[in-house]
Amino acid sequence: MANIQSIKRLKSEVGAIILAHNYQRPEVQDVADFVGDSLELSLKAAESDAEYIVFCGVDFMAEQAAILNPKSVVLHPVASSICPMAHMLSLETAKEYRERYPGAPFVVYVNSIAEVKAVADYIVTSANAAKLVGLLKEDTVLFGPDRHLASYVAEKTGKKIIPVPAFGHCPVHVLFDPEHVQRAREAFPGSRVLAHPECVDEVRRLSDFVGSTSQMLRAPSSMTDRSFVIGTEVGVVHRMRSLYPDRIFVPLSESAVCPNMKKITLDSVETSLRARVYRVNVPEHVAAKVRENLKRTFDLLGVNVSWRWN
C-alpha cells in the first residue's frame, strides 16, 4: 500500500510534481507539492519545468494544465474522475446558444470541457467571474455551465445573465439548503458561515461570506472570529484546519462530498507515477483557442501572466 514517504521518493526519481485540488482526500493534499483551486493549480502547472505533472483533480482541471503547459506530460491518476457539471454543457449546446444570442458575449466557467472553452469569449473562475462580467460593455451575457454562479454574477453586476444550459449545477453545492445554515447557527452559535457561489441563492443570502475556495481559505486571516462553518466540499475543511490550527472549522454538511474528487487515492497516485498513466492529451487546435481565450480574459482583468508558450 502506498504511503506519503514512498510517493515522495518515487516523485523525485521520476522528475514529477504533484498538484492537488482543495477537494482532494487529506492524504492526497498532504503528498502534493502544491494545493489550490483550479486557477491556482493551472498557473502552477504553467510555470512548472517538471517532466511530469501528476494532477489530482477532476478531468477539466487536468485538461487545462495540459493546455497551459504543452512541454510537460500531464498525468491524471484516475481517468474516470470527472466533473459532472462540466459535462452538463456540451459543445453543441454552446454553439446553439451562441447562434440564438449573436450579440451576447459567451463567458464560461473554468469548470467546462476544453471544447466548450475553445468557443467561448472569456474563461472565468468563481473568484473573478463577477469582476470580468462587470467590465463587459454588453448588458446581456451568456454564462455557463453553473446556473447558480450565473445567478450570483447577475446579483453582483445587475446584468441579464443567461445560464447555459438552464439546468447546470454542481451536485455537491446544491445539497445545501437554508435548513443547513439554520441548524449550523444553532449548533455553533457565533460562528461565521462561509459559502461558495455555486450554492443556491437562499443559502448565499443566509451566509456571512460568499466566495470561491481560494477566497474562503483567505477569509479567516482577516476575521477575528474563532469558529467557521464551511459551505463547500468537505475537503476544504482539512486545508483550513492546516492553515489555521488555532481556529475551529466544521462543514456545513458532512454529506458535501464530491465522489469524483475522492476517487484519487495515494495508491492511484503511486500507480500514475510508476506506469505514467493516464496521459492527458488535448488537440492542439483546441488548446490554442483556449489559450487565446484565457489571454483575452486576463488582458481584460489586467492580470499579467508569463505564459510558457510565448
Instruction: Grade residue 306 by pLDDT with cuts at 50, 70 and 90.
Output: low
Point out which residues pair with 238 in neighbouring strands: none
The per-residue pLDDT for 39 is: 86
List, for residues 179-191, the tens digit of each pLDDT value: 999 999 999 999 9
d(CA 253, CA 172): 10
d(CA 161, CA 5): 48
Instruction: Grade residue 222 by pLDDT with cuts at 50, 70 and 90.
Output: very high
Share of residues in the chain with pLDDT > 70 (%): 98
**For residues 89-102, average pLDDT:** 98
Instruction: Grade residue 307 by pLDDT with cuts at 50, 70 and 90.
Output: low
List, for residues 123-134, the tens digit of each pLDDT value: 999 999 999 999
Q: What three-state secondary structure class fits 55? A: strand
Superfamily name and number for 173-251: NadA-like (3.40.50.10800)
Q: What is the DSSP letter of 199?
A: S
List, for residues 31-40, the tens digit of each pLDDT value: 999 999 998 9
d(CA 215, CA 126): 9
C-alpha dihedral (296, 300, 302, 307), degrees to nearest 10: 0
**For residues 175-181, average pLDDT:** 98
The C-alpha cell of 178 is what?
Answer: 437554508
Residue 152 pLDDT greater than 90, yes or no: yes
CATH 3.40.50.10800 residue ranges of the chain are 4-83+261-279, 85-170+283-310, 173-251
Residue 310 pLDDT greater than 80, yes or no: no
Q: What is the DSSP string of 229-270?
A: EEES-THHHHHHHHH-TTSEEEES-TT---TTGGG--HHHHH
Average pLDDT over the chain, rounded to an integer: 96
Domain with residues 85-170+283-310, CATH architecture:
3-Layer(aba) Sandwich (3.40)
Domain with residues 4-83+261-279, CATH architecture:
3-Layer(aba) Sandwich (3.40)
